[in-house]
Amino acid sequence: MSRLSEALAAGEFVITAEVAPPKGANPGDALAKGAAMPPSVTAVNVTDNQGANMRMTPLAVAALLARQGVEPILQLTCRDRNRMALQSDLLGAAALGVENLLLLSGDHARFGDHPQARAVFDLDSVQLLQAVDRLRGGHDLAGRPLTAVPHFFAGAAVTPEAEPFELMFQKFGKKVQAGAQFFQTQAVFDADKLARFMAAARPLGVPVILGVLLLKSARMARFLHANIPGVRVPESVIGRLEDAADPLREGQAIAREMVAHARALCQGVHLMTLGQEEKISEIIAADG
């Protein structure tokens, strides 16, 4: 079992973070960031062409992190691969000792740095969860047996503030039925909406790790609110950043507050610091 699955099963409050693969052939910076994570971080997500921007395959970075003792969570999107390639990458991940997965649909290619790329989307995120469940059961999607069965701890994403709530929660339920063993959420900045979501999600019995994003400025907050699906930054939060003498420090304070809410409502936090990984210890240490 992975440390992440063991910690969640034991009822521990887990902390995850993330690194992005390089836009180049040298993974050194990503590996250094992974190695520098504080001991309180249980596992580190490796993003998959995040924002539809081409980077090194996350499978390579995840395997290299695992080799140096950092537990990875391999993000895998449906955007760039058909069902054959997805299954191949999953079996490769198992062979390389990568157990934790976060299975995503992925941002459309038109939003990234290769807008002319043809998006695949042969499977959606629910179907990819089902594919992982089939592989864990010893068969591929064509029904053919595997010579060795992989062991995965499969997670999925959810956007607690997406509207309409009922439609979002219906998809959440489908992911649970498809085999999701944990969830990491999109960034949330409204504690009341988080509480509403968790009240509905708790009976399903699947751990939820709250996405906590470090805001650096009011401009960044407004951009996220306007452009990222499912992210809603309240005007009160934007106002705090506008009025702050040091917006980044105020962003850290906002992140600490969301971590505190997560401790009361969720099973962990996923910290998205966007190049400010050195702030993780401060965010966590200052949280009660």
Distances (CA, A) of 132 to 63, 221, 235: 18, 35, 40
- In this structure, the chain runs to a length of 288
pLDDT of residue 288: 44
Query: Beta strand pairing status for 14-19 and 208-213?
Result: unpaired
pLDDT of residue 140: 98
pLDDT category at 188 given cuts 50, 70, 90 is very high
Domain that holds residue 45: 3-285
Kindly state the average pLDDT of the residues 101-123: 95
Is residue 133 pLDDT above 90, yes or no? yes
Q: Any idea what the CATH number is for the domain that residue 110 is in?
A: 3.20.20.220
Residue type, 156: A
pLDDT category at 76 given cuts 50, 70, 90 is very high
Q: For residue 274, what are its two tokens?
A: 């966007």
Alpha helices in the chain (DSSP H): 3-9, 28-35, 58-67, 83-95, 125-136, 165-177, 191-201, 218-227, 235-243, 247-265, 280-285
Domains identified in the chain, total number: 1
Kindly state the average pLDDT of the residues 234-261: 97
Q: Judging by beta carbons within 10 Å of its beta carbon (0-12, 13-18, 19+), is residue 23 exposed, middle or buried?
A: exposed
pLDDT of residue 285: 76
Asked whether the CA dihedral 58, 59, 61, 62 is positive or negative, the reply is: positive
Residue in this structure with the two tokens 């395997």, named with its chain if needed: 63
